[in-house]
Amino acid sequence: MANPLYDALFAPLAGRGDGVLLLPGGGTITGAEIAAQTARIAGALGAAGVTAGERVVVQVAKSPAFLALYGATLATGAVLLPLNTAYTAAETGYFIADAAPRVVIVDPARAEAIAPHAAAAGAQVLTLDAAGGGSLAEAAAAMPATFAPVARDADDLAALLYTSGTTGRSKGAMLTQRNLLSNAEVLADLWGFGAEDVLLHALPVFHTHGLFVATNIALLSRARMIWLPGFDLETLIAEMPRASVLMGVPTFYTRLLDDPRLDRTLTAGMRLFVSGSAPLLAETHRAFAERTGQAILERYGMTETNMITSNPLRGERRAGTVGQPLPGVELRITDPETGRTLAPGETGMIEVRGPNVFRGYWRMPEKTAAEMRADGFFITGDLGVQGADGYVTIVGRARDLIISGGFNIYPKEVELILDDQPGVVESAVVGVPHPDFGEAVLAILVPEAGRAPDLGAIRAALAENLARFKQPKDILIAEALPRNAMGKVQKAELRARHAGHFTKGT
């Protein structure tokens, strides 16, 4: 019985006695060991009542056990819902309520805070810590080292990833087996991956980039991975000599450039550097090439579509662009108002169609219909221009979504907290250029007359309710916010006005 993703990514591990995961400090985990752990965790999930199509919420640290948990979820036919470990219990509670999972897997330290949310959704809480311990691991230890994967169709759901929008709460993008596998197959071929590659994996695994691009490609191509728990500059530099590929966000590259050890000797064994999840400054692209002799390959994608475009492996990796559409992916630029297809060189809305495009938003048929054309093209919300040679340049977003360090941030979620603080009349949150994070969150507050807001108390309120990456990097005070004739706050003007706030060292 077929299970496309499991068959392509995890089933081959059972026959691999070599080290698939290379750990910092020299440890290794073989493919056969991962396969056995995957089977045991699948058995534990089954014992917890997980069946095909049910959601499994995972909010745990990146570890070798997470990889086995990913494979186990596929094996059972369930739908993986990975969550950022920085989310507060209140934030996580929204996802649990909306997704209605069978089980919620969290770090033991978070179990008590998450329990009420899980109980309200009728879900069981299991635990898994960074060292591979917890109630899930204990249950898995009693299970056999083999598991017959549940049959799944290419159009069955494999993952549910929540993405921020500009109105309402986060939306669950439904990704199928075909969506994920087709994208991995195209990218593995396009980027020349093979069994001889060693991927330096420092990305988080609750995000499309780290899980469905980096991990899927490596598993599909039988490559090995240096499995780092997160980005740490010292570790990255120490491990680079035994790697051949690095996938990162722009922050990885700006921090590497800040270190004098980055040179051609350090990168001599590397064949490819990939950047995504946020815009890569052309200046960073040029500086990296000068220091290492290698051009960063920038690509473009989003949660709903996986990867859409890429600069070439062989050919011009053009600074400031995200390359050309992937094989099998159709891209067009349209007039945002009329939907009319524009000519090359004209700026408009980016729309895409292909096997990579998601099935729609979880339990939001109206939202799905609003963002999907009748002919199957998905309206990305990004504004761009495509040259006659096919290269695409992203020029902005039609929405107010902020992408900081590769993470999506919905301004209204921050503004609701700010507006509720004593001494604050109103607020506006925008993303402005940042040399390290691509964009940074900047908040502008209008105070009550004759009353100065307590910024310390405001920051404390933000920290209590929001993940750290959503919290403003700085808070400014203004007499008023710019508005148009209809009274709408002009965020474009705020972004322009404060564009140099973080780049000038303020």
What dihedral angle (degrees, nearest 10) is formed by the CA atoms of 120, 121, 124, 125? -70
pTM: 0.85
Share of the chain above pLDDT 70, in %: 97
For residue 123, the one-letter residue type is A
User: For residues 42 and 73, what is the distance between their CA atoms, to the nearest angstrom?
Assistant: 7
For every residue of 236-263, DSSP letters joined together read HHHHGGG-SEEEE-HHHHHHHHTSTT-S
Write out the E strands in 41-102.
55-59, 79-82
Radius of gyration (Cα) for the chain, nearest Å? 23
Report how far apart, in Å, the C-alpha atoms of 115 and of each of 107, 337, 442 are.
12, 46, 34
Say if CB 134 and CB 127 are below 8 A apart: yes
3-state secondary structure of 434: strand
21-26 long-range Cβ contacts below 8 angstroms, 24+ apart: 21/64, 21/67, 21/224, 21/225, 21/227, 22/198, 22/224, 22/225, 22/226, 22/227, 22/242, 23/64, 23/226, 23/227, 24/226, 24/228, 24/235, 24/238, 24/239
State CA 488 to chain mean position distance. Answer: 31
To which residue do tokens 């051609």 refer? 264
Sequential pLDDT tens for the chain (506 residues): 699 999 999 999 999 999 999 999 889 999 999 999 999 999 999 999 999 999 999 999 999 999 999 999 999 999 999 999 999 999 999 999 999 999 999 999 999 999 999 999 999 999 999 999 999 999 999 999 999 999 999 999 999 999 864 445 789 999 999 999 999 999 999 999 999 999 999 999 999 999 999 999 999 999 999 999 999 999 999 999 999 999 999 889 999 999 999 999 999 999 999 999 877 888 889 999 999 999 999 999 999 999 999 999 999 999 989 999 999 999 999 998 899 999 999 989 999 999 999 999 999 999 999 999 999 999 999 989 999 999 999 887 777 778 899 887 878 789 889 988 999 988 999 999 999 999 999 999 999 888 889 999 999 999 999 999 999 999 999 999 998 654 568 888 999 999 999 987 54
Instruction: Tally Cβ neighbours within 10 Å of residue 268.
Output: 12
Say if CB 298 and CB 369 are below 8 A apart: no
What residue ranges of the chain are covered by domains with CATH 3.40.50.980? Answer: 4-11+31-152
Over residues 191-203, the pLDDT tens digits come to: 999 999 999 999 9
Say if CB 286 and CB 296 are below 8 A apart: no
Exposed, middle or buried, 52 (CB in 10 Å: 0-12/13-18/19+)?
middle
State CA 333 to chain mean position distance. Answer: 24
What residue ranges of the chain are covered by domains with CATH 3.30.300.30? Answer: 402-497
Specify whether domain 402-497 bears CATH 1.10.3720.10.
no
- pLDDT given for residue 46 in this prediction: 98
Residues 6 or more apart in contact with residue 202 via CB below 8 angstroms: 228, 230, 231, 232, 235, 236, 246, 248, 252
Say if CB 305 and CB 322 are below 8 A apart: no
For every residue of 415-431, DSSP letters joined together read HHHHHTSTTEEEEEEEE
User: For residues 414 and 399, what is the distance between their CA atoms, to the nearest angstrom?
Assistant: 16
CATH of the domain spanning 4-11+31-152: 3.40.50.980
